[in-house]
Chains A and B, each alone.
Chain A
Amino acid sequence: MTTAVETLREEPLTIGGRTFQSRLMVGTGKYPDMDTMVRAIEASGADVVTVAVRRVNLDRSKESSVLHFLDPKKIFLLANTAGCYTAADAIRYARLARAGFNDFVKLEVIGDEETLLPDVVGLLEAAKVLVQEGFKVLAYTNEDLVTALRLEDAGCAAVMPLASPIGSGLGLLNPYSVRTIKRRLHVPVIVDAGVGTASDACVTMEQGVDGILMNTAIAAAQDPVAMAQAMRLATIAGRAAYLAGRMPRREVAMPSSPTRGMLD
């Protein structure tokens, strides 16, 4: 006799009407060189890759943009508004990015220089304007449920709570909050920022979130290409464990071997 157990079925990740193969998304910053970056992105299996918008350096006009190294047929470019501290600046950067390639934007409005934590008031304001203009907004936010709900109400295509501060490598500090956000939202929840190593990625995916975005954990590893591969596997493992459904936690032991049939 088999017992029918209801398990979760895997579904493709769709954001703003676009479907993606990998649940791991990666950044392109802080790599020691472009060749390492290209090989790390390849090893990560990511099909969404983030880039930043910056002034061209006029004294070194031959300097190539990062796009030169990325194959738009293989990867989907997601511009961020990193470095913006006001809604107005973030909106301006998003519009520039759209003129570059697509209408998806990873919206960041930073509120504090030391922690790079988001300014949720500015974030909501910018999100509303950009959604109105037809952008697919993926909003980088903290792990606050109410802000996440407001961002969803504002029409964001995805909400991106942090695991811990950008570039900190502290891992998932508040699994409960991230899990709650995932449970309550209908749009995809992509954890962005803060993972340090593969176990962090795995634990994050085990919360049931739809994906994870990281940059420094790969770029600042001693061997970025090897770490990218580890992150790819950890993301898959964490997702698979979530879908499998973990055993309940107990405060006391329970033997795995029979207690009957022991010798006198």
Chain B
Amino acid sequence: MDVVINGERKQIRGGTLLDVLSELELDPRAVVVEHNRKIVRRAGLGGVQINEGDALELVHFVGGG
């Protein structure tokens, strides 16, 4: 399905948000997920399905002052 991840159009297999992270080879413990502008806590990632056209922001923590 087509979704937008971090501002880019992506083709993914779909499933839950946890499945999406796994498909992208991202560690759920190191990423914060915003699904259609709503933050989904780590424990809830497996319970939310991704749908065609959804927008995901996947952020992590980098060096900063």
Contact = CB atoms under 8 A, between A and B. Distances in A.
Given A61-B26, A96-B39, A99-B39, A66 B61 contact: yes
A20 interface: no
A215 B24 contact: no
Interface residues of B, number: 24
Nearest to B62: A54
A66 B58 CA distance: 15
B65 A27 contact: yes
Majority secondary structure of chain B interface residues (helix, strand, loop or mixed): strand
Given A58-B8, A96-B34, A67 B61 contact: yes
A166 B65 CA distance: 9
Given A65-B30, A193-B65, A56 B25 contact: no
Interface stretch (A28-36, A173-181, A203-211): A28-36
B25 A67 contact: no
A19 B31 CA distance: 28
Contact of A66 (B25, B41, B59, B63): B63
A96 B65 contact: no
A214 B65 CA distance: 7
**Most chain B beta carbons < 10 A, residue from A55, A66, A80:** A55
6 contacts: A50-B64, A56-B6, A56-B58, A58-B5, A96-B34, A166-B65
Interface of A: 27-31, 37, 50-56, 58, 61-62, 64-68, 77, 79-80, 82, 95-97, 99-100, 166-167, 193, 213-216
